A and B are shown apart, each in its own frame.
Chain A
Amino acid sequence: MATWQPDPSFYPSPRMAAKAPAEKLAYVAAFDPERKIPDAITVVDVDPQSPTYSQIVGQVDMPNAGDELHHFGWNACSSCLCPNAPHPHMERRYLVVPGLRSSRLHIIDTKPDPKNPKIVRVIEPEEVAEKAGYSRLHTIHCGPEGIYVNALGNAEGKAPGGIFLLDPTSFDVLGQWEMDRGPQKLAYDFWWHLGHDTMVTSEWGTPDTFENGLVPEILLGSKYGRRLHFWDLHKRKHLQEIDFGEEYQLVFELRPAHNPTKAYGFVGCVISLKDLSASIWTWYRDGDKWAVKKIIEIPAEPADPDLLPPVLKGFGAVAPLVTDIDLSMDDRFLYVSCWGTGDMIQYDVSDPFNPKETGRVRIGGIVSRATHPKAKNGALNGGPQMVEISRDGKRVYFTNSLYGPIDPQFYPEGLEGWMVKLDVGENGGITFDENFFIDWPKSHRPHQVRLEGGDCSSDSYCYP
């Protein structure tokens, strides 16, 4: 519906967005790893003044079982204010929720009752395959030409994966985004620099190489993704590929600077084949090309093989497994989830080539099983995974499940879901909010978190 004024949650610049009011609700994707009962978008009360703080207060079930809900997003966001393609008189209202396994898209209305969202449209995988030629839907971003959805496989479930567009008003599938994909085959994450007309995409693998869990031969053969791709955002043309090299596998989450005048961003690499370490890389503009530099290396931790899952036993060490990262709105703090060791690390990345660790907490972990003050059983499993930051940068939320078939490879005893919250100090430093711990209902595992009104990975901006 057209509105008379822009949605109040749209901000021209990240500076202004950082002054947004605190969120009161979080939406969390929750999936059944057994694929027997429907996945759900759950609503979590994150208002400390509320009597139901730190509780699940609402839920909308998907119409089918086995979707494996993944990185969902909003129908519209701050990029609607961009001067070259302005369409600001929209509401941030609908969640666009993809099923990674089912390739189904769900449109969920968060109004009139934000605690009681309702499904208003379901786009079946056949329609996506027919109109866009893709399957295995992974990540959603609202942007200049509508809603962008990426997919890890083509219509047959093979390479190439890529991106397609949805109409932001009708939610009709408009078609494939790429006009010239160059050498790009694998897909994982995507985002952009609106100020530099550049799209960036990363790589995982084709569906047959992950839908039954990670395949050791493919990993050790360096056949999973290890490249970044840079594109002309408006010509939709592949411009440049950067190969991290044989040592590096699984180049995942992309976090470009929010400030649109800055031409750099951060990407996490899950594992090094040399020493199981994880790494964070900065991509940046170097003359008329893009370049990358490794800025952080997080080492594996030696461990008693008896405590390790089969996949790690032979190595005698816990890999950090950096599976998600997130950048604060002011581009100052980078949060790094180490799903293997159980660390959530905060770095000051004001200088994107010279990060300084400013905070670290540990919870769960393959060996450490670190607990939380409010947890009952005293030995949590899973580790920090999907992480989301409030727009003002004062609160950080995260959950502990990675992906249905991969969870048991690293947590074979059965991953038990939880969601926690960190409070952030004025100049860095992170501590657990002792009153916020959600012992996730056993039927589901929690994945991506989205905050009411927008968060640090939902919106992009055209003005500095």
Chain B
Amino acid sequence: MTSISPWLVLAGLGVFHGLNPAMGWLFAVALGLHRGSRMVVLRSLVPIALGHAASIAVIAVVAVLLGFIFDQRPLEIAAGILLLAWAAYQAAYGHRHRVRVGMTTGMVGLGFWSFLMASAHGAGLMLVPVVIPLCLASMPGQDLTAAGSLLIALAAVGTHMAAMLAVILVIALTVYDWFGLEFLRRGWINFDLIWIAALTATGLILIA
């Protein structure tokens, strides 16, 4: 990990989250198809990205604040265990969530939906191994302050969201304008399995 810039990892995870149809691009396309408007596709991406970012931000801020209370090592182990538990929960009960938002939703509902989806999938937890060292390592010549760390955490969330937004923008428009939905039938690979693998891998990285 040390050789890759943490910012690049954050962006990479943004790409990964964006690719997953369950994280929102598919909902944007569906709403566009329902209302017969490309503009609706574009507008829908905004609350989807913001809801996702809000969910990530909650985890990042909590991680940073905990970092000022506990040592980094036990914090990493605790986060790792939480990730593994989350992965196990996803594997067992991931299909069992209440459906709270439907096709008639407005933009606020869509943001809320995205927040719930990202939170339930543990999207923010996946960023913890990057966020902890990035935000809690003191810069040369600077003291480590809570304000400074939180600012870096928010920059991390922003980077992640920007990458995610770019990806969902490209996919949603490509599908809406060219591909159509036929490809979903065979091309929609099981992101849930990949996701569970990613949660598990992240957990192991933290503990190791």
Complexed CA–CA distance, A170 and B203 (Å): 27
B97 partner residues in chain A, CB cutoff 8 A: 85
Q: How many pairs of A and B residues are in contact by the CB < 8 Å rule?
A: 93
* Pick from B95, B96, B113: contact of A84, CB under 8 Å: B113
The reply to whether A16 and B27 contact each other, CB–CB distance below 8 Å, is no
The interface on chain A, measured as residues whose beta carbon lies within 8 A of the other chain's beta carbons, has a size of 39
Nearest A residue to B103, CB-CB: A195
Which residues of chain B from 129 to 176 have a CB within 8 Å of any chain A CB?
Answer: none
Decide: A260 near B34, CB < 8 A? Known: A2-B192, A4-B189, A86-B26: yes
CB distance from B40 to the nearest CB of A (A): 13
Nearest B residue to A6, CB-CB: B188
Complexed CA–CA distance, A167 and B96 (Å): 7
Contact residues on B (Cβ < 8 Å of other chain), bracket: 20 to 34
Q: Among the listed stretches B6-14, B58-66, B74-82, B179-187, which one makes contact with chain A, having 4 or more residues with CB under 8 Å of it?
A: B179-187
A5 partner residues in chain B, CB cutoff 8 A: 186-190
Interface residue SS majority, chain B: helix
Cβ of B207 within 8 Å of any chain A Cβ, yes or no, is: no
B69 partner residues in chain A, CB cutoff 8 A: none
A13 partner residues in chain B, CB cutoff 8 A: 181
The reply to whether B185 and A6 contact each other, CB–CB distance below 8 Å, is yes
Decide: A197 near B185, CB < 8 A? Known: A2-B190, A84-B27, A464-B34: no
CB distance from B23 to the nearest CB of A (A): 10
The reply to whether B27 and A196 contact each other, CB–CB distance below 8 Å, is no
A440 partner residues in chain B, CB cutoff 8 A: none
- The proximity string for B residues 93-114 relative to A, scoring 1 for CB distances below 8 Å and 0 otherwise, is 0111111111111000000010
The reply to whether B188 and A462 contact each other, CB–CB distance below 8 Å, is no
- The proximity string for B residues 10-42 relative to A, scoring 1 for CB distances below 8 Å and 0 otherwise, is 000000000001100011011001100000000
Cβ of B193 within 8 Å of any chain A Cβ, yes or no, is: yes
Complexed CA–CA distance, A393 and B96 (Å): 34
The reply to whether A84 and B192 contact each other, CB–CB distance below 8 Å, is no
B26 partner residues in chain A, CB cutoff 8 A: 83, 86
The reply to whether A89 and B192 contact each other, CB–CB distance below 8 Å, is yes
B193 partner residues in chain A, CB cutoff 8 A: 2, 4, 89
The reply to whether B184 and A146 contact each other, CB–CB distance below 8 Å, is no
Decide: A260 near B103, CB < 8 A? Known: A87-B95, A463-B33: yes
Cβ of A314 within 8 Å of any chain B Cβ, yes or no, is: no
Complexed CA–CA distance, A167 and B34 (Å): 29
A88 partner residues in chain B, CB cutoff 8 A: 184, 188
* Pick from A90, A169, A234: contact of B102, CB under 8 Å: A234
A10 partner residues in chain B, CB cutoff 8 A: 185
The reply to whether B103 and A84 contact each other, CB–CB distance below 8 Å, is yes
The reply to whether A144 and B99 contact each other, CB–CB distance below 8 Å, is yes
- The proximity string for A residues 1-14 relative to B, scoring 1 for CB distances below 8 Å and 0 otherwise, is 01111101011110
Cβ of A404 within 8 Å of any chain B Cβ, yes or no, is: no
Measured CB to CB, the residues of A under 8 A from B are: 2-6, 8, 10-13, 16, 81-90, 144-146, 167-169, 174, 194-197, 233-234, 260-261, 462-464
Q: What 10 A-B pairs come out closest when comparing CB atoms? A: A197-B102, A83-B27, A12-B181, A83-B26, A85-B99, A89-B190, A83-B30, A144-B99, A87-B95, A197-B104
Measured CB to CB, the residues of B under 8 A from A are: 21-22, 26-27, 29-30, 33-34, 94-105, 113, 181-182, 184-190, 192-193
**A6-B184, A85-B99, A196-B104 known, 7 other contacts, Cβ within 8 Å:** A5-B187, A10-B185, A16-B182, A84-B99, A167-B96, A194-B103, A462-B30
